[in-house]
Amino acid sequence: MKETENIFLTLINQHAAIIHKISKMYMNDAEEQRDLFQEMVLQLLKAYPSFKGNSKFTTWMYRVCVNTALIYLKKDRRKVDKTPFDIHTDVIDVNENEGKEEKLTYLYAAVQELNEIEKALIFLFLENQSHREIAENLGISEGNARVKLNRTKEKLQFIIKKNGYEF
């Protein structure tokens, strides 16, 4: 059992950035992001014994984490717009990263206006997932994933322009 736990912890540590990104996509508040992060790790731990290796670990992980985020939102009836988004959240004060961090902050602010499924689509797209992989992760057809992703990207562009974010 100890070996299985070590393998699980190693995999979680290797892919913790995925969990952080998903929690940031679904929650504005840093405390809520930490809570969601912990919930996703807990659900991954519970589900790990059922992971058979039929897909890549990260594919399985995306699916568990996105589903956990969706359930977490519904269960606690948390609203994305419950807490006003602070445009200066997480901005690093390093000159070379300043533009990149500012753009990421604007992107996360715009993503908060998307619904839960649209957030998952954008997240998987930003993780360079193919349409097939997105479809597999969300349990929809590849054609449906392609159409939904295109519509979501158009909606995100509209939100970015509407809010006057500079890219």
Chain Cα centroid distance, residue 53: 22
Render pLDDT for 116-141 as a digit per residue (tens, 0 to 9). Answer: 889 999 989 988 889 999 998 888 99
Q: Are 17 and 25 in contact (CB under 8 A)?
A: no
**pLDDT over 70 for what percent of the chain?**
84
Per-residue confidence (pLDDT) for residue 98, from 0 to 100: 62
Nearest to 26 by CA among 101, 85, 97: 85
Average pLDDT over residues 38-52: 93
Q: How far apart are CA 18 and CA 43, in angstroms?
A: 14
Per-residue confidence (pLDDT) for residue 150, from 0 to 100: 95
Higher pLDDT, 61 or 166: 61
Banded pLDDT at 76 (limits 50, 70, 90):
low
Summary mean pLDDT of the chain: 83
Q: Give the chain's domains with CATH numbers.
A: 1-84 (1.10.1740.10), 86-167 (1.10.10.10)
Is residue 85's pLDDT more than 80?
A: no
Per-residue confidence (pLDDT) for residue 89, from 0 to 100: 40
Is residue 102's pLDDT more than 60?
A: yes
Q: Are 16 and 57 in contact (CB under 8 A)?
A: no
Q: How far apart are CA 136 and CA 68, in angstroms?
A: 16
